Structure 1
Amino acid sequence: MAKATAALMDTAKASRKSSNQYRMAVYTFGEKAEDTKLLEVSSLTDNLDQVQTKASKIGLMSIPWQGYDNDQQTDFDRALKNIGNLMGTAGTGASAGSPEKILFFVSDGVGDAYKPSTCTKKTTSGRCQEPIDTTQCEVLKNKGYRIAVLYTTYLPLPTNDWYKKWISPFQSEIPTRMQSCASPGLYFEVSPSQGIEDAMNALFLKIVSTPRLAS
């Protein structure tokens, strides 16, 4: 994922018409399980070389021990809400003063967070494991953002008892929920280990070649 995000900067640099045509920022779900939050890897900038360098250093979230905090380290609702607060007002893209806002969202599509009352699936002691709840996706799209979703397929674990009880019942819903989160035409599914770089580049080129119509 880090390699693909860094490589995307080469595609952006090659396709831009001016040095400040695109500005990008990169965020993850956090660096360590003890402090899960929307973590800024690179702040918003048109210096894509800088973004590339920082993105290439993204690592897996560390965890102090197996089962820490009941494994609740993937809070989609909080992350999407917070990214919406950071992105600001969406423009038309017609001028530098009215930039269009695009969110690239890359995930395996399964949320795991403390959500005792609003989870879309059954919980265990308040722990909510669910295919992404698209509520916050709709909030962002209603604000005028376009969302490009890259779904890294959540692979079944048919011999794992936890998977069979908690994830398998909604396995088929994971890709459909992720596609529902995406703006029309901006959804790709790839395996967790192959095709991520190509899919990210294809999504980016599709976005920049499809101007948004504003009324």
Structure 2
Amino acid sequence: MFTGIVEELGEVTAVENLGDSSRFRLRGPLVTEDAKHGDSIAVNGVCLTVVETAGGEFTADVMAETLNRSSLGALTTGSRVNLERPMAVGDRLGGHIVQGHVDGTGTILARTPSENWEIVKISLPAALRRYVVEKGSITVDGVSLTVVDAAADFFTISLIPTTLALTTLGIKEPGDPVNLEVDVIAKYVERLIGDKAEGAAK
């Protein structure tokens, strides 16, 4: 489990195409300082398993399913990425509960800068619309954020200077894809209510 509080702005140092999968090598001295084979690290909000670590870098295998359902397939050597280690038992939950399981991708539609923050407009897949509400939580490229406005096909977020400076959301441009993970609690509530309604109808 993660919290959506990015620890480090890393970089893709190599991408190896393996046919139906890819192996990524990523630089992240902070997140690799205590990482070992089999550990998890979130990369742009996608939970990946560490294969090897060396010299402040780690490798991770990414299957076709993940490449197809997230924006990781668009990464190339030199791409910047948000990195976060899993939450340890007893840690503060600074963001919200994040699984590292991407629900879909959106596209940055517009950026509106202000004096001390920036409003970013992101497209919203129809399948995720019911989970995104004004002032609710959403994870964008692994960053825990609060929804400002929620419309039928887009939502907006407000980024403070720290987020702009320390995550990829400060350098993403209109047209760039981003990974989206909606609040898992909303999905469980929907399933439980649906099961209850279905049982009552029998």
Greater fraction of residues in helix = 1
Q: Which one has the bigger strand percentage? A: 2
Structure showing greater relative contact order (alpha-carbon pairs closer than 8 Å, 6 or more residues apart): 2
TM-score calculated relative to the size of structure 1? 0.22
